Chain A
Amino acid sequence: MKPAGFAYHDPQTVAEAVALLGRLENARLLAGGQSLMPMLAMRVAFPDHLIDLNRVEGLDGITVEQGVLRIGAMTRQRSIERSAAIREACPLMTEALTHVGHLQTRNRGTIGGSLCHLDPSAELVTVAAALDATIEVAGPEGQRDVAIADFPLGFMTPALAPEEMVVAIRIPLWPREHGYSFMEFARRHGDYAIVSAAALLVLDSAGRIARASVTLGGVGAAPLRVTTAETALVGEAPTPALFRAAAACCEGIEAMEDPQAPAWYRQRLAAVLTRRALERAWARATGEAA
């Protein structure tokens, strides 16, 4: 028993959870617990109140409707990984999840937890950024939407007021024939990536790139879109040289530095992974790769 003492609350509804957040000082929400529980055990987090979301009704579930994928905040990573609907409509997310933790942690870990923990190289956050997701947030005044671009305020800090919580994520789907790829480099499988890259491409009838999305995890304080690369791609005919040129945009991005990897190494990785991800996305868009 390693965590410091706390009072435990297990609300049944979102309204109850939000009311508790508003009323209690130094409270933390507990979702899947795969990040917060270690933080409690190591006593880097010591809330006075723990508000467990695992018994809140209606926070999990996956729906695909009118071109939008909606995933409830408490949906387990493993349910997402195994969802046939997501594999079909949003395969980038399925591919990214193969890199997330391990069987045992995905069985508990939730998408809402990943979004709010906001690790700079969290795969699900990178995917959310790549797909222009919208985060549904509940608070005392009701619900509001936050665009994923506005969601990170800084390093591991989501744009949430103390009495707010995430209830779902909405993702506008790409056309069925899009190409996608998620690649990452980590020291060991299941670790947070040092750098990850997500790429999506849509080709027009002439075979040129009609739409592109390039996103990096593990480089900035939060996953970021490489808009310069996207601009370089759109309207062009896809070639290895074009992908190399687009990937080179990553080398100019200011990168984090930590004991695991210096900034120049992250920049190099970012360019290599982006090029490979674009090539794979292209092969998938043309039907040449599965």
Chain B
Amino acid sequence: MSETRRITLIVNGEHREAETPVRQHLADFLRGTLGLTGTHVGCEHGVCGACTVLVDGHAVRACLMLAVQAAGHEVTTVEGLSLADGTLHPLQQAFCDHHGLQCGFCTPGMLTTLVEFLAEHPAPSEEEVRLAISGNICRCTGYDSIVAAALAAARALRGDAA
């Protein structure tokens, strides 16, 4: 069965229109159909968090959503976090500064998850950060540097000196 649908949606602020098989999940659509390979696919069944993107501002697992379900919605991927001139998002800068990544496979999911979390919790505790990223698996860092980066980004976003 190869039913397809033409969908329109907004991705990183841009209006996009494309054909997708109805059984294709959003992560594969973003990567394969739109060429936005920043979103990573790890487990493809909702346990690793690598595929996390923002849909209407909320962090969701893109492997647990069909591309057709995103029609009419606004999706932000890791590619949409930095400014057009290449200036990194404060979270991305903090990940660089604090070695918040090694191989980088988990990073897009960590970043998108933390974007929503920090918007709601501008001054989180370390414990709250750890809980927020509990659905994102990292096989490299041991998480400490990610937590440090998130706390530094929170300070930067609040405008406190780092």
Which positions in A face B, CB cutoff 8 Å? Answer: 1-8, 10, 30, 33-34, 37-38, 40-42, 50, 52, 54, 78, 101-105, 107-108, 188-190
The answer to whether A103 touches B116 (Cβ under 8 A) is: yes
Residue of A nearest to B56 (CB): A107
Cross-chain pairs A/B with CB under 8 angstroms, 7 sampled: A1-B23, A10-B68, A37-B63, A37-B65, A41-B46, A102-B49, A104-B49
A52 to chain B minimum Cβ distance, whole angstroms, is 6
The answer to whether B44 touches A2 (Cβ under 8 A) is: yes
B2 to chain A minimum Cβ distance, whole angstroms, is 7
The answer to whether A104 touches B66 (Cβ under 8 A) is: no
What chain B residues lie within 8 Å of A190 (beta carbons)?
Answer: 134-135
How far is B117's CA from A108's CA once the two chains are assembled, in angstroms? 15
User: Chain B: interface secondary structure?
Assistant: mixed
The answer to whether B135 touches A102 (Cβ under 8 A) is: yes
Q: A104-B52, A104-B59, A105-B135 are in contact. Are A37 and B46 (CB under 8 A)?
A: yes
The answer to whether A38 touches B68 (Cβ under 8 A) is: no
> Taking the complex as formed, is B36 at the interface, i.e. its CB lies under 8 A from any CB of chain A?
no
Q: A103-B113, A107-B59 are in contact. Are A1 and B135 (CB under 8 A)?
A: no
> Taking the complex as formed, is B131 at the interface, i.e. its CB lies under 8 A from any CB of chain A?
yes
A5 to chain B minimum Cβ distance, whole angstroms, is 3
User: Number of residue pairs across A and B with beta carbons under 8 Å?
Assistant: 93
The answer to whether A41 touches B63 (Cβ under 8 A) is: yes
The answer to whether B45 touches A42 (Cβ under 8 A) is: yes
What chain B residues lie within 8 Å of A40 (beta carbons)?
Answer: 23
The answer to whether B135 touches A101 (Cβ under 8 A) is: yes
What chain A residues lie within 8 Å of B132 (beta carbons)?
Answer: 103
What chain B residues lie within 8 Å of A10 (beta carbons)?
Answer: 68
> Taking the complex as formed, is B21 at the interface, i.e. its CB lies under 8 A from any CB of chain A?
yes
How far is B52's CA from A1's CA once the two chains are assembled, in angstroms? 16
Greatest chain B CB density within 10 A among A3, A50, A54, A103 is at A103
User: When the two chains form the complex, which single residue of A34, A54, A102, A103 contacts B69, counting CB atoms closer than 8 Å?
Assistant: A54
Residue of A nearest to B53 (CB): A104
Give me the 8 closest cross-chain CB pairs, A-B, nearest first: A102-B135, A5-B1, A8-B22, A38-B45, A37-B64, A107-B58, A41-B45, A104-B59
How far is B66's CA from A6's CA once the two chains are assembled, in angstroms? 12
User: When the two chains form the complex, which single residue of B22, B46, B47 contacts A6, counting CB atoms closer than 8 Å?
Assistant: B22
User: When the two chains form the complex, which single residue of A6, A37, A104 contacts B113, counting CB atoms closer than 8 Å?
Assistant: A104
Which positions in B face A, CB cutoff 8 Å? Answer: 1-3, 5, 21-25, 28, 44-47, 49, 52, 58-61, 63-66, 68-69, 113, 116-117, 131-132, 134-135
What chain B residues lie within 8 Å of A101 (beta carbons)?
Answer: 135
How far is B52's CA from A54's CA once the two chains are assembled, in angstroms? 19
Q: A38-B45, A103-B59, A108-B65 are in contact. Are A7 and B134 (CB under 8 A)?
A: no
The answer to whether A103 touches B117 (Cβ under 8 A) is: yes
What chain A residues lie within 8 Å of B134 (beta carbons)?
Answer: 102, 188-190
The answer to whether B131 touches A189 (Cβ under 8 A) is: yes
What chain A residues lie within 8 Å of B69 (beta carbons)?
Answer: 33, 52, 54
How far is B46's CA from A42's CA once the two chains are assembled, in angstroms? 11
B41 to chain A minimum Cβ distance, whole angstroms, is 10
What chain A residues lie within 8 Å of B61 (beta carbons)?
Answer: 34, 104-105, 108
The answer to whether A33 touches B64 (Cβ under 8 A) is: yes
Greatest chain A CB density within 10 A among B52, B61, B68, B132 is at B61
A122 to chain B minimum Cβ distance, whole angstroms, is 16
Residue of B nearest to A10 (CB): B68
What chain A residues lie within 8 Å of B131 (beta carbons)?
Answer: 189
Residue of A nearest to B130 (CB): A189
